[in-house]
């Protein structure tokens, strides 16, 4: 996917990118490749693949989740090199974004990136998702929490649902096998105060691989004991 096709395919979905937004994606790509030589941010560094598998793929959430077009506050858990929240922020500048990541080096990259892109209303927090979810300042304060293929859904729900305010949503971006994950994660989702509201399945253009966007509505408060201590959700998922 070259830059022209990237712009054209977003246009077909009703998303018009300005010259400035296209420039921001170009700076993002160049910064990602430059920093990737010093630290491991991504295995994908070919320009056409970054535009398809990182940028376009991240923005697909905006095709299905209308609230991303509003000025909501989203939290991205384990965003790594900034996916999906930074491409979403470029595409929908009105979003307010908080990224939490457990690796300080990645946070340094994101801070540098945000300056290079001149992004406003973004913050980056170095923390484990488990301890961040117990922080009174942030717990149940976000309109939406996003995560892209970080862990299986039962684990991911425990890391993300405690951060979503009641009435908000958790949007999980998954590759294949999402339906099995939903089945296996039903108990965890309900226990944490959520309910699967929408499930969207589509294929990523060009490479034709399966993608799924799961929208989990937060209907009631998450019990105080969740998330449990760092490492526990992964070792002992709610089943």
Domain count for the chain: 1
Buried (b) or exposed (e) across 121-148, using 16+ Cβ within 10 A? Answer: ebebebebbbebbbeeebbbebbbbbbb
Query: Which pLDDT does position 78 carry in this prediction?
Result: 87
Q: Name residues of the chain where pLDDT drops below 70.
A: 149-150
CATH number of the domain bearing residue 68: 3.40.50.150
- What phi-psi label fits residue 149: left (phi over 0), alpha (psi between -120 and 50 degrees) or beta? left
193 is in an annotated binding site: no
128 is in an annotated binding site: no
62 is in an annotated binding site: no
Query: Which pLDDT does position 186 carry in this prediction?
Result: 93
Query: Which pLDDT does position 30 carry in this prediction?
Result: 97
DSSP conformational letter for 176: S
Where does 109-187 show beta strands of DSSP type E?
Answer: 122-126, 142-148, 164-174
CA distance 96 to 89: 8
Write out the residue range of the structural domain in which residue 193 sits: 3-235
Check if the beta carbon of residue 227 is closer than 8 Å to that of residue 134. Answer: yes
Task: Name the 3-class secondary structure at 65.
Answer: coil
194 is in an annotated binding site: no
Predicted TM-score (pTM) of this structure? 0.95
pLDDT tens digits, 171-230: 999 987 788 889 999 999 999 999 999 999 999 999 889 999 999 999 999 999 999 999
Query: Which pLDDT does position 150 carry in this prediction?
Result: 67
């Amino acid at each position: 996917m070259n830059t022209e096709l990237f712009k054209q395919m977003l246009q077909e979905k009703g998303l018009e990118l300005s010259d400035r937004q296209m420039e921001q994606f170009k700076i993002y790509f160049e910064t990602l490749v430059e920093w990737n030589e010093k630290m491991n941010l991504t295995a994908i560094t070919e320009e056409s693949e970054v535009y398809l598998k990182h940028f376009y793929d991240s923005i697909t959430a905006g095709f299905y989740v209308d609230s991303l077009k509003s000025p909501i506050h989203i939290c991205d858990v384990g965003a790594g090199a900034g996916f999906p929240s930074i491409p979403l922020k470029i595409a929908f500048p009105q979003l307010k974004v908080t990224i939490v990541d457990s690796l300080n080096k990645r946070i340094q990259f994101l801070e540098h990136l945000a300056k290079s892109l001149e992004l406003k209303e973004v913050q980056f927090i170095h923390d484990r998702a488990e301890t961040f979810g117990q922080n009174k300042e942030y717990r149940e304060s976000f309109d939406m929490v996003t995560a892209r293929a970080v862990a299986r859904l039962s684990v991911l729900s425990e890391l993300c649902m405690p951060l979503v305010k009641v009435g908000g949503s958790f949007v999980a971006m998954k590759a294949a096998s999402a339906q099995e994950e939903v089945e296996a994660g039903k108990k965890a989702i309900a226990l944490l105060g959520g309910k699967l509201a929408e499930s969207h399945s589509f294929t990523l253009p060009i490479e034709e691989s399966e993608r799924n966007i799961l929208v989990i509505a937060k209907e009631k408060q998450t019990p105080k004991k969740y998330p449990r201590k760092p490492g526990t959700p992964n070792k002992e998922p709610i089943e």
